[in-house]
Amino acid sequence: MVLLSVNSICVSFGTNIILDNVNFSINDNDKLGIVGINGAGKSTLAKLVSKDMVPTSGNIFLAKNKSIGYLAQNATIDSERTVFDEMLLAFPEAYTMDKRLEEIEKALFSSKSDTLISEYTSLTEKFAQIGGYEYKSRAKSTLERFGFDESFRDKKISTLSGGERTRLALVQVILSQPDLLILDEPTNHLDITTIEWLESHLSSYPNAIIVISHDRYFLDRVTNKTLELQNTHAHLYNGNYSFYENQKMEDEKALLKKYELQQKEISRIEAMIEQQRKWGQEHNFVTIKSKEKQIEHMELVSAPEKKAKEMSMKFSKATTSANDVLIAYMIGKKYGERTIFKDLSFTLKRNDRMLVIGPNGSGKSTLMKILGGIDDDYSGDVVLGHNVIPAYFSQELDNLDPSKSVIEEIVDAYPKLTTREIRAALARFLFGPEDIDKQISLLSGGEKARLSFCKMMLSKINFLILDEPTNNLDISSKEILEQALLNFEGTIVAVSHDRYFINKLATRIIEIDNEKYTLFNDNYSSYVDYKSKLSEKQVDSVQSIKQKTSNKEEFESNKKLLSDIRKNESKITRAEKEIDDLEKLKASLIEETEKNSDNYQKLTELYNKITETDERIEFLYNDIEEAENTLNELRGNCNEQ
């Protein structure tokens, strides 16, 4: 069934056309990805579909009685409510019923009104039908998936950071489960683990989704249709991002060949007409008229659309560095009493490309600042090798002076370059004559990123320290950056949550998590396989412990490890059994409520028991998750030994 139909949409601001004659439709279970360069109109289209914006012309139809949930790019929640109370508003029907049930319960203590008892009975039945006894648990578990544990629940949203409030906005729109979920860059501010959970959740989402993203892995795993916006027009492909990329290439080749063949045929006919004119006989003019009609009746093939101008990136060649580019020895970082990471040691060799991964808050950006010489408040030692010339790229883009113009920023950094050289360099990063006098404070995130790269490219460097370099870049710009980094004749250490970028670039991986770190000397795909195999080797790990005990002390240590593994396995088994029993108990309690619909006191007692049962079930699920995390860590220790 068609859920959404977009017909002949046009959007223009004065003479500036953003979208022109855009047409597409999606069904009620489609997952549509919208792609295109920055400025192509992706966010504008999302606003149109969500009714946040009105088109210049055209119509958008949504099926009757269908709801839309829209998350704008970098949307935040401004509220004085607590985190948990705000998230419960994602369930307006359950939340309203819950509050009314509380009011009736209080009222019934002082008045045994038949009207109230009747309302209470009717309301509790509806409450159970809409999942009222589960909505708080759903809110809690989803919050935890996005990094908001129990310590956040009673915090006021106004006290949280901008990134945290953006993540909360995403949690809330996901919990509301609309018929059409529209997400504009939802993976911003998320770490890899959370992105993977979001992918899984959206892949199994029962309703339709429209998602705008520059994350190619994410698009491949979530979408089944792709809408490309290019040169104000839209083209729909019936597949995910990889399908779209391949199909577009094939379509462009076929269109170019068809266009060239038709142009060749037109040229042949025009040459024939010209020859007939030279001969000038009466019958020649009959032939000329016939050939002209032949061209007129042709269905002309349009020339392939010109691609948008792309930036050009190439690093200046620098002197060769020593083989040991950087040695980090036992470095650690604290903020007050909180340890971010400790005892971190590694050596970067010439031409290494090491990618740093880990959850938000694990200290990845802090490590980049330490390596880049921005933060000197740390323990341990960081030593650069001979002839190492580093450059640091900050995800905050704070290496730019917001009070300067684009050209002033480069002139002040490179006073020896001529104006012509500077203009040529800026042009390679898409800053034309109309852009170079813009004040930096007025630039978009993508423009600031391009200017930072331009500034970096002009330096003769051999060691790049990059903190989230792909933020603010569209897919085309990411691909250009990837190729430039692959061609870079130096050493790279970078933080990124873009798995496609990581996989293409990394020769080494370092994962930082909970004050611990893992070094892996291969690419990202191999690292993912390695971690996956760790969790599959429980029996092998236990056997390995037995085989490696060479002395009493080691034997005792391994015996304890084995015992801890068994304890946690038993804990999970017991919890799963208890959950099964509690689910049966809950079913019988709900059955009891139907039999006692006219007995207020009995109903209150039963619903209290149902609530207690739900709380116990939630507690047991948390126990299982904790035990599984512990098991993964213990099995990892098995492999290390």
Q: What is the pLDDT of residues 14-44, one digit of tens each?
A: 889 999 999 999 999 999 999 998 889 999 9
pLDDT at 542 over 50: no
Residue 161's pLDDT band, with cuts at 50, 70 and 90, is confident
Q: Which residues are within 8 A (CB) of 554 and not within 5 positions of it... i.e. 6 or more apart?
A: 548
Are 173 and 181 in contact by the 8 Å Cβ rule? The answer is yes
pLDDT at 553 over 60: no
State residue 69 phi and psi, 5-degree precision.
Answer: -120, 125
Instruction: Work out the mean pLDDT of the chain and round it to a whole number.
Output: 87
Higher-confidence residue: 203 or 591?
203
Q: What is the pLDDT of residue 600?
A: 67
Lowest mean pLDDT among 131-145, 186-200, 524-538: 524-538
Lowest mean pLDDT among 219-233, 311-325, 480-494: 311-325
Q: What is the pLDDT of residue 64?
A: 93
Q: What is the pLDDT of residue 61?
A: 96
pLDDT at 489 over 60: yes
Q: State the first-to-last Cα distance of the chain, in angstroms, to the nearest integer.
A: 57
Q: What is the pLDDT of residue 574?
A: 85
Q: What is the pLDDT of residue 510?
A: 94
pLDDT at 188 over 90: no
Residue environment code for 567-583, b if the CB has 16+ CB neighbours within 10 A, otherwise e:
ebeebbeebeeebeebe
Residue 545's pLDDT band, with cuts at 50, 70 and 90, is very low
pLDDT at 617 over 80: yes
State residue 304 phi and psi, 5-degree precision.
Answer: -55, 140
pLDDT at 348 over 60: yes
Q: pLDDT of 245-291, one tens digit each?
A: 999 999 889 988 998 898 898 898 888 888 888 877 767 777 888 88
Hey, what are 593's tokens? 């409520």
pLDDT at 243 over 60: yes
Q: For 631, which DSSP code?
A: H
Sign of the CA dihedral with 138 first, then 628, 511, and 502 last: negative
| Helices 282-296/241-279 angle, 10° precision | 170
Return the SS3 of 69. Answer: strand
Q: What is the pLDDT of residue 102?
A: 87
* Bridging pattern class, strands 31-35 and 208-212: parallel
Which of 230, 233, 211 is CA-nearest to residue 221? 211
Q: Which residues are within 8 A (CB) of 403 and not within 5 positions of it... i.e. 6 or more apart?
A: 439, 440, 441
How large is the average pLDDT for residues 325-333?
Answer: 93
Q: Which residues are within 8 A (CB) of 467 and not within 5 positions of it... i.e. 6 or more apart?
A: 364, 365, 368, 369, 392, 393, 394, 395, 494, 495
Q: Name the percent of the chain lying above pLDDT 90.
A: 52
Question: Residue ranges per domain, the chain?
Answer: 1-67+178-239, 245-296, 324-527, 538-640
How large is the average pLDDT for residues 504-531?
Answer: 89
pLDDT at 456 over 60: yes
Domain 1-67+178-239 identical in fold to domain 324-527:
yes
Does the domain made of 324-527 have the CATH classification 3.40.50.300?
Answer: yes
| Cα separation, 90 vs 175, whole angstroms | 6
| Cα distances (angstroms) measured from residue 602 to each of 274, 582, 597, 599 | 100, 20, 9, 5
**How are the residues of the chain apportioned to helix, strand and coil, as percentages rounded to the nearest 5?**
50, 20, 30
How large is the average pLDDT for residues 329-334?
Answer: 92
* Bridging pattern class, strands 31-35 and 180-184: unpaired
Q: What is the pLDDT of residue 546?
A: 43
| Cα separation, 259 vs 252, whole angstroms | 10
Q: What is the pLDDT of residue 314?
A: 87
Q: What is the pLDDT of residue 637?
A: 58
What number does CATH give the domain 1-67+178-239? 3.40.50.300
